[in-house]
Structure 1
Amino acid sequence: MPCMTMKIVNEVQKQHNADIPLLTESEEHQLAAWNATQQNYSRAACVPHLVAGQAAATPGAVALVAGHQRFTYRELNQRANQLAHYLQTLGVRPNVLVGLCMERSLDMVVGLLGILKAGGAYVPLDPSYPPDRLAFMVEDAQAPVLITQQHLVSRLPAQQARVICLDADAAVLAQQSPSDPISAVTADDLVYIIYTSGSTGRPKGVQITHGSLLNLVFWHQRTFKVTAADRATQLTSPAFDATGWELWPYLTMGASVYLLDDDSRVAPALCRDWLVDHAITITFLPTALAEGVMALEWPSTTALRYLLTGADTLHHYPSSGLPFALVNNYGPTEATVVTTYTLVLPTEHADGSPSIGRPIDNMEVYILDEHLRQVPIGEPGELHIGGAGLAKGYLNRPDLTEEKFIPHPFSSEPGTRLYKTGDQARFLPDGQIAFMGRIDHQIKIRGYRIEPNE
């Protein structure tokens, strides 16, 4: 009986503690101000419509470059249109999933854009993945159509999907209309599903909408002053959500995207030389590669304006001699690539690693304790994310969606949610956020979240 009494007392004490506010009134106002990120953006035209608009406005401008190959906006748009028309004959329309298993190439971009123009949502599959992982993703997505290349067909598991090889089926695709297809897709429809590591060892498909992608695109264009004169890069695996960040903010603005060769995307010195030689103005490099590139000598003048990095913890600050700005970014796939960002300035005697910055437009960050209370500024807690970039949830996993995407405790708007990241962080006095690692056992390998038992 005394044990039972003690248990009840402890539970009452716990509940009492949970009801005690942790913040002063001034801290509440300060945290609310840091989350005041509202910025209007248009949801009327989705990414495929915006790319088509650029093709109409500047058809002869260079859209894509890979080695000696290049596509103008007219060529990219027409090839994607032909694929889209064919996909529509196979029943592809809004919220229909289409798998894409291709190596990085100009045709990979045609495939991604063609799926979106048909109204569908792309599900990228990395051909270098282990067969078991590919088989699980194909089975889980149940995409009725799969786009690939002839030499990759043997790597794919046996499945019911209709397979289109962009190379072997080129003659069939060439018979389709090169005009822009009609699509009823809206900002609320799915744009892609990216598979990330699951806590059970099963990958989980994150469902992102066109509206969330548009918020990323317009924030990026505003923040980095993207124009049609810019030259950007594509180097990540198509199965990594950063690929969409590398492509769509530029192809919707009339800029050019250059695909790095395989050697230059892993060796810092080759990467630096490639960026300089191709007069690249904005690039995203995963953290390890970015730190290697930052440590090198650079010419005093270069076309590069911004080196964007993310996907892992940034440990080093740039030297004062670098001729470009370094921007650190943070965001899980569940929040459409980027949640927070900061310009990292040269710092000689830093107390710790560079921060992950502040929320981007229309995104919010809350650092909460186990009772979902905001912790005082400077105190650690679990990082929760709200705002326009939140995923719809996990494909075929309503249980996990409910567990990770919780009702927003600080919003009066019906249906708003927060995503529990599993990351530990704290607010710094100036509103920047210090990343403190994982609460769970996930690790990151080259930017991918991986469970040890996977």
Structure 2
Amino acid sequence: MITVLDCLENTTLKYADNIICKDVKKEITFADFQQNAQAIGSFLCRYNVMRKPIAVFMDNTAEAWEAMLGVVYSGNFYVVIDALMPIERIKNIFNTLNPLAVIVDDKCAGQAMKLGMDIDIYMYGEIVKTSVDAAKLNVVRRRMIDTDPIYALFTSGSTGTPKGTVLTHLSVIKYTQWYAETFNITSKTIFGSQTPFYFSMSVSTMFSTIYTGAKLVVIPKQFFSFPVKLIEFMNNEMINTIYWVPSAMNMIANFKALDNHALPYLKTVLFAGEAMPTKQLNYWRQHLSKDVLYANLFGPTETTDIATYYIVNRDFNDDEPIPIGSACSNCDVFVLKNDGTLAGENEEGELCVRGSFIASGYYDNSEKTKEVFVQNPLNTHYPEIIYKTGDLVRYNDRGELVYITRKDFQIKHQGYRIELGEIETAVSSVKGVYECACIYDKIKQLIVLYCTGENLTSKEILLGVRDKLPKYMMPNKIFVLKSMPHNANGKIDKKLLQNTYQEKEKK
């Protein structure tokens, strides 16, 4: 197996009539999915180039997934654009990307036209009718190697400028093999997909589906506001595996939806993207069957999706953080202190990753690439690139990695170095708290806490954490919100909270 296309074709030979994807509009078999992807690839071969970016500007549907693989069949790599993304951000991405073309559906066509950029725009519904040109596709495949890019995923940069992480066939295949083997993904797996295709977590479900013959069901976004309807949908579709951001899981726990509604088909619960509050995880564990597997997955887009994982195999108190565990197979991690030496037990340091999961770098951004994709400082004998994640972690007394915070979330307050994530863990354990997030007012030197919950007051929150946090870590300002803002990926939107706070303080 060299490319993800070989993977798709091998699986289609075995499971041609199995459903690969079901969305709100339709379901499609592996055979038809491959046919449509090859048709789109044949159309795009007209450019007669390889390893160039092509944007897929479509809603989160099976058709978008076909277009993504169609781009790969043409020898190029895809970039998925969020259908709800502001025009200016799309322009910023396209100015960096300079894509050959954009594939759109009916919903996004008008938005694409508003860009006013000199880029070829093609309707999915038209190009999917192209006859498959096996000869052209074969020419492309003979030139394709496993270090060719398959996609670039644009995430927000610290400067506000999106940066595009480039991943290869090799990285995706190696990562997918680990994911499928570790979590027993098979042709019997039915994924309930929460994450949009432009988010790195979708890579795990999409490519393990292609690799094993599993089925991916796109859960309508609106159900994540109505927990009972969400559970009913999952049961109707007999979903047995989920890989969600914790905010989605919290919604079910906070509304106590499992008190009166069961999930009998669910056997594997995976979560990543942000810290999973232990209180809400304990709720799930108390209400589902004892044989359900839970795992905390951790990693950035730059490591395909995940670098470490922890299968939950013991009980935790509500105020204990869930470990991020140890490295995935064929992936190595180590923890570097500020002085460049390896961290010992309970010593804090930056998580670094090496191995084939690592991305090639950032598209057309050599300066940023050189900052974080660096020579392994522990190896001075031959070239070896590692990725510096920017995540602060430590090993606990069990030898498990525990996440502390992002380097940029660490603050200096009253002379103490503080991780805002530690405050959030403590607050999350307080009775009645649904969600919480901390930001820091650098000018006034105040720890600001935002939270949602049931009949909460600032006094109750402070009383709830006084035995868990030292005085210098206690929040200085507390805002109880009716609802917590979330970004397009479903994670708590801390940037929005920070901006909102700053605007309020100016007035």
Distance in 2 separating the partners of 1:111 and 1:322: 37
Distance in 1 separating the partners of 2:198 and 2:9: 24
Which has a greater percent of helix? 2
Match of 1:384 in 2: 352
Matched, 1:365 2:333: yes
Match of 2:96 in 1: 140
Match of 2:118 in 1: 160
1:160, CA displacement in angstroms? 2.5
Kept after mapping to 1: 8 A contact 2:165/2:361? yes
Matched, 1:202 2:157: no
- Greater Cα offset, 231-240 or 200-209: 231-240
Match of 1:424 in 2: 392
1:231-257 CA-partner distances (Å, limit 9, x unpaired): 113332222111221211112211111
Alignment of 1:78-97 (within 5 A): 78-93=35-50, 95-97=51-53
Kept after mapping to 1: 8 A contact 2:353/2:387? yes
Distance in 1 separating the partners of 2:492 and 2:96: 20
Matched, 1:107 2:47: no
Matched, 1:63 2:63: no
Distance in 1 separating the partners of 2:214 and 2:27: 13
Match of 2:286 in 1: 320
Match of 1:27 in 2: none
1:224-280 CA-partner distances (Å, limit 9, x unpaired): 112112111333222211122121111221111111112224443332222222111
Kept after mapping to 1: 8 A contact 2:71/2:78? yes
1:5-32 CA-partner distances (Å, limit 9, x unpaired): xxxxxxxxxxxxxxxxxxxxxxxxxxxx
1:417, CA displacement in angstroms? 1.8
Match of 1:297 in 2: 258
* Distance change (3 Å), C-alpha of 1:278 and 1:312: same
Kept after mapping to 2: 8 A contact 1:84/1:117? yes
Match of 1:177 in 2: 132
Determine helix, strand or coil for the equivalent of 2:221.
coil
Match of 1:8 in 2: none
Write the letter of the residue equivalent to 1:221. A
Distance in 2 separating the partners of 1:403 and 1:448: 27
Write the letter of the residue equivalent to 2:374. I
1:373-430 CA-partner distances (Å, limit 9, x unpaired): 1122111112222221111111111111111111112246733122222211101122
Query: Quick one: which of 24, 29, 39 aligns to 1:72?
Result: 29
Distance in 2 separating the partners of 1:126 and 1:49: 28
Distance in 2 separating the partners of 1:273 and 1:105: 21
* Distance change (3 Å), C-alpha of 1:159 and 1:247: same
- Greater Cα offset, 368-377 or 136-145: 368-377
Query: Quick one: which of 116, 136, 141 aligns to 2:72?
Result: 116
Determine helix, strand or coil for the equivalent of 1:320.
helix
1:179, CA displacement in angstroms? 5.3
1:72, CA displacement in angstroms? 1.0
Distance in 2 separating the partners of 1:450 and 1:348: 26
Alignment of 1:210-289 (within 5 A): 210-289=169-248
> Tell me, which stretches of 5 or more residues in structure 2 are unaligned?
411-438, 440-485, 501-507
Kept after mapping to 2: 8 A contact 1:79/1:178? no
Distance in 2 separating the partners of 1:204 and 1:266: 30
Q: Let me know the Cα RMSD of the aligned residues.
A: 2.4
Query: How many correspondences in the alignment?
Result: 407
Write the letter of the residue equivalent to 1:296. A
Kept after mapping to 1: 8 A contact 2:42/2:130? no
- Greater Cα offset, 415-424 or 292-301: 292-301
Determine helix, strand or coil for the equivalent of 2:41.
helix
* Distance change (3 Å), C-alpha of 1:174 and 1:289: same
1:301, CA displacement in angstroms? 6.6
Kept after mapping to 1: 8 A contact 2:231/2:263? no
Determine helix, strand or coil for the equivalent of 1:174.
coil
* Distance change (3 Å), C-alpha of 1:178 and 1:253: farther
1:346, CA displacement in angstroms? 5.7
* Distance change (3 Å), C-alpha of 1:207 and 1:450: farther
Kept after mapping to 1: 8 A contact 2:56/2:79? yes
1:423-450 CA-partner distances (Å, limit 9, x unpaired): 1110112221111111114989434887
Distance in 1 separating the partners of 2:330 and 2:101: 34
Distance in 2 separating the partners of 1:378 and 1:441: 19
Kept after mapping to 2: 8 A contact 1:198/1:450? no
Kept after mapping to 2: 8 A contact 1:381/1:426? yes
Higher relative contact order (CA 8 A, sep 6+): 1
Match of 2:406 in 1: 438
Determine helix, strand or coil for the equivalent of 2:244.
strand
Write the letter of the residue equivalent to 1:109. W
* Distance change (3 Å), C-alpha of 1:325 and 1:332: same
Determine helix, strand or coil for the equivalent of 2:266.
coil
> Tell me, which stretches of 5 or more residues in structure 1 are unaligned?
1-43
Kept after mapping to 2: 8 A contact 1:234/1:246? yes
- Greater Cα offset, 361-370 or 185-194: 361-370
1:309, CA displacement in angstroms? 0.7
